[in-house]
Structure 1
Amino acid sequence: MKVPFAAVVTLALDYLFARPTMQHGPGKRGLAWPYYNDGLDPGKLNDHQGTVNLIYDYETYAPPSSNGDGGLAFIGMQRCLDCGSSPIAQLAARQKQLKFSTVFTLNEPDLNGISPGQAADWYKQHINPLAIKKALPAVTSSTDLGKGLNWVQQMVKACNGGCHFDYINLHWYGQDFAQFKAHVNDAHSRFPHNKIVITEFALQNPRGGQADQIKFFKAAFAFLDSASFVEMYFPFVATSPNLFKSHDPSGAAFVGTGSTLYKDDGTISAVGELLLKA
């Protein structure tokens, strides 16, 4: 079929000036979803273009919300050795039921009195058998001896090659982007053959509140998107200021409420809008 020259020119111009689709490192951006979020909708942060496509809720049960997982890929987390909310005996069954293909493990054991050796033995027994992708326990950014990345190195040593894992898992709170970038790069230098996930990060209660958090996240998101060794990241936290203060007052005092992804009316905050930007 012969196409008129004018039509060809129009199609070419449409192609040249077409609005780019929003694609941000498929699989990288996600929501850290607290247990008290029943009334919020994670789907509001799902643009169906893969900009945000992950969610975890610190547990092995489905995310509590007004819209399930909001169409995002759920990642289970066995945050405790064994606890009522996520019994270790039910880990395998819940993984099959909810079909999560990645599991995060132990929440900040370096602050919770769990030794690297104890974690290694527990990991071999309960996490190794899962035929899915696995992350080592999520540690703090503390530089104290026996904590943070030092704790992870001690666990890997205690594993003696017997722990099967895909990801190093980091939490970070601090004063500025330079500190954050240095910490992530430090983790990469210590574990150059492993991918990294950052499952909590934000500035520590900055004086400028949300404005400072936005400035930090703009730089952090760009860095993480460009870092090939970073597999996933989750800014803290996918909730609203009032819910955060009501259910986790110590956490809200430590981080501030300027990094929350929702407003109190359930709509997306300025930080949430930033997470959705290409």
Structure 2
Amino acid sequence: MQVSLTAFVTFALDYLFVTPTVQHGPGKRGLVWPYYNGGLDPGRLNDHQGTVNLIYDYETYAPPSSNGNGGLAFIGMQRCLDCDSSPISKLAARQQQLKFSTVFTLNEPDLNGISPGQAADWYKQHINPLAIKKALPAVTSSTDPGKGLSWVQQMVNACSGGCHFDYINLHWYGQNFAQFKAHINDAHSRFPHNKIVITEFALQNPPGGQADQINFFKQAFPFLDSASFVEMYFPFVATSPALFKSHDPNGAAFVGTGSTLYNNDGTISAVGQLLLKA
């Protein structure tokens, strides 16, 4: 087949100057989406450039919102052994229906009276069969004996190699970035061969409110972006101050409302705007 010189030059120029697909963000950032967020739109935090690309709602049903999952990738979570809202009997069917490719498991079992051995047996029965990415239960940052990372290690020991998982799942609340960084690095040193996801994190009700949270996240986001062992992270929490205080007053008192990603009118807060920056 003969190709004219003009056609060849035109093709070469088109190839050289084609605009590449650009991902603005690191592909690690996501939204913690509470059940009471029905009037908010997660799409407001989707810039369609991959800066924020994930969402979970502690359940195996689709996120309640004014715009579905807002174009973000939904991650199912079986937050308890068996919930009315997310029955364990429906986990596999919901995964097939919603096509989520990752599942989170058990929300803070180290505080909820679930032993590592019980969790291991449950995990083998219900989570192992799912042919998708899997995270071990999300534990607190408590350093008390038998809690936090020590609980995870005890569960791994109880699994005796029989639990198939991709991620260590962490929550963290504390006083400053140095503590946060030390905790994440500690988790990595204990589980060096596993990726880490941080599915809740913020300062614990800092005196400076939103300004303190912003200063913390300005340090935390770049650290997590650059850490190759961190797969995903979700600052707490993707709601508004009014909704947070109304539906979870204990949580709002513990964390404060300065880390919420929305304002009361549904627009993106200063913390949310920070999450949208590369």
TM-score band, normalised by the shorter chain?
Answer: over 0.9
> 1:267 maps to which residue?
267
Instruction: Point out where structure 2 has 5 or more consecutive residues left out of the alignment.
Output: 1-5, 7-12
> 1:182 maps to which residue?
182
Q: What are the Cα deviations for residues 218-251 of structure 1, in whole angstroms up to 9, with x where unaligned? A: 1000000000000000000000000000000000
Q: TM-score, normalised by structure 1?
A: 0.93
Q: What are the Cα deviations for residues 200-229 of structure 1, in whole angstroms up to 9, with x where unaligned? A: 000000000000000000100000000000
Percent identity of equivalent pairs: 87
| 1:21 shift after superposition | 5.4
Q: Counterparts of 1:35 and 1:83 in 2: how far apart (Å)?
A: 14
> 1:55 maps to which residue?
55
Query: Is the counterpart of residue 277 in structure 1 residue 267 in structure 2?
Result: no
Query: Is the counterpart of residue 127 in structure 1 residue 121 in structure 2?
Result: no
| 1:195 shift after superposition | 0.1
> 2:29 maps to which residue?
29
Q: What are the Cα deviations for residues 125-177 of structure 1, in whole angstroms up to 9, with x where unaligned? A: 00000000000000000000000000000000000000000000000000000
Residue 51 of structure 1 aligns with an amino acid whose one-letter code is: T
After TM superposition, the structure 1 = structure 2 runs for residues 81-92 of structure 1, keeping only pairs within 5 Å, are: 81-92=81-92
Moved over 6 A (4+): none
Q: Counterparts of 1:22 and 1:127 in 2: how far apart (Å)?
A: 32
Q: TM-score, normalised by structure 2?
A: 0.93
Q: What are the Cα deviations for residues 35-76 of structure 1, in whole angstroms up to 9, with x where unaligned? A: 000000000000000000000000000000000000000000
- Aligned residue pairs, count: 265
After TM superposition, the structure 1 = structure 2 runs for residues 1-278 of structure 1, keeping only pairs within 5 Å, are: 23-26=24-27, 28-278=28-278
Secondary structure (helix, strand or coil) at the match of 1:53 reads strand
Residue 48 of structure 1 aligns with an amino acid whose one-letter code is: H
Q: What are the Cα deviations for residues 5-51 of structure 1, in whole angstroms up to 9, with x where unaligned? A: xxx9xxxxx9xxx9x9562222x000000000000000000000000
Q: Counterparts of 1:167 and 1:22 in 2: how far apart (Å)?
A: 24
Secondary structure (helix, strand or coil) at the match of 1:77 reads strand
| 1:124 shift after superposition | 0.1
Residue 110 of structure 2 aligns with an amino acid whose one-letter code is: D
Q: Counterparts of 1:196 and 1:24 in 2: how far apart (Å)?
A: 18
Q: Counterparts of 2:115 and 2:35 in 1: how far apart (Å)?
A: 26
Does the aligned pair in 2 maintain the 1:32–1:237 contact within 8 Å?
yes
Secondary structure (helix, strand or coil) at the match of 2:267 reads coil
Q: Counterparts of 2:127 and 2:23 in 1: how far apart (Å)?
A: 35
Instruction: Point out where structure 1 has 5 or more consecutive residues left out of the alignment.
Output: 2-7, 9-13
Residue 226 of structure 1 aligns with an amino acid whose one-letter code is: S
Q: Counterparts of 1:85 and 1:159 in 2: how far apart (Å)?
A: 27
Secondary structure (helix, strand or coil) at the match of 1:178 reads helix
Secondary structure (helix, strand or coil) at the match of 2:77 reads strand
Secondary structure (helix, strand or coil) at the match of 1:113 reads coil
Secondary structure (helix, strand or coil) at the match of 2:154 reads helix
Q: Counterparts of 2:277 and 2:51 in 1: how far apart (Å)?
A: 8
Q: Counterparts of 2:158 and 2:25 in 1: how far apart (Å)?
A: 37
Does the aligned pair in 2 maintain the 1:22–1:277 contact within 8 Å?
no
Q: Counterparts of 2:268 and 2:80 in 1: how far apart (Å)?
A: 30
> 1:4 maps to which residue?
none
Residue 24 of structure 1 aligns with an amino acid whose one-letter code is: G
Secondary structure (helix, strand or coil) at the match of 2:76 reads strand
